Chain A
Amino acid sequence: MLNERVICAGFGGQGVMLMGQLISYAGMIEGKEVSWLPSYGPEMRGGTANCSVMVSERPIGSPVITDDATVAIVMNLPSLDKFERDIISGGKLLINSSLIDKKASRSDVTAYYVPANEIAVDLGNPRVANMVMLGAFLELTKTVSVDAVMKALKKVFGDSKAHLMAINEEAMNRGAEIIKG
């Protein structure tokens, strides 16, 4: 039964909150139970940002992930150091290898290395690195469909950012390709 508990983490501005929201939003569109819980701190810019996302077929109890994440998506080194230990044995770890040159230290967790920033730059917009990671995550876990994420993105973007839909979809495809190998 689907019961995904995902940590998305990075520094402020990397779009980790949006990544988490899109997973939740897409889950809701698919009729699943979801929650999104951000960390929040006094700093407005920079600093570390992370959110806990639950997607489940059962009503969600606690929205907090303590040490039972099924997946962690880490966009920078401090996030790897902080959240690697919170993944369950047999869980998955998605590492942004563009910014993190360290390997996963746990052997009971499967690590996947995605050069998200390089791919994003290659696509012409460094800001879609989060979507590359999201694409990899979706391919890996099938938690929600790319279709539902695109629907969610359309809602989040509204008309003013509709022109960015294509590059975001492309970013997700490129991330998925990394997993497909």
Chain B
Amino acid sequence: MAVVYQKSKGLTDKETHYCPGCTHGIIHKLVAEVLEELGVLGDTIGVAPVGCSVLAYDYFNCDMHEASHGRAPAVATGIKRVLPDKVVFTYQGDGDLASIGTAEIVHVAHRGEKITTIFVNNAIYGMTGGQMAPTTLIGQRATTAPLGRTVEHSGMPLRVSEMLATIDGAAFVERVAVDTPANIRKAKKAIKEAFQCQLDGKGFSIVEVLSTCPTNWGMTPIDALKWLNDNLIPYYPMGNFRRPGEVK
């Protein structure tokens, strides 16, 4: 019988703890497949964040290092400077990367550190229970913005990819989404290009992945995917912001 689908060797057999309908599973799968396809799984060290994907170290089938909140890019820097020939990536959410870890992500880009960051943006703090993130949309409710986020109180949501694309050391910056099969395919392509950028020694690479949080958004998984398409994508446009050699 022909095998038409196999779980990537880049993932362990451990069952994930993610909520039903959460898109972390899809993103994990894409990263694992890319590492396997590039043939670098045995030479990769991943850095897990604090947040929903804190346990990612149990799911990726490569050496993993669990960082403190927001510091994954600094930890990855330490690893990469010791092992410059290895592939090093961070996997971070929006609270981790866009709030408590802004200094670290800006400076890892600023130094042109040859690592890859997978930035999962679902516009909310997941693990701690649905608090407002810097990426939470105006009007979006959160447990620390019970009436919805307002500009007056909290400012406008932070567009991380656009910001990082202004930094010369950021060689590859792209925003993708995982709401439809077509977008998932595009996301995988971007993730592969980001890792390739690292392998080619071009500089820092990051893929921002628009993701859902059905639990904290208070929606069914299907509604959450639709909400992502209707609300997140208009404010966070998909596309490439920077490629190696380009000056934007």
Do chains A and B directly touch (beta carbons under 8 Å) in the complex? no
Q: List residues of chain B with CB under 8 Å of any chain A CB.
A: none
Q: List residues of chain A with CB under 8 Å of any chain B CB.
A: none
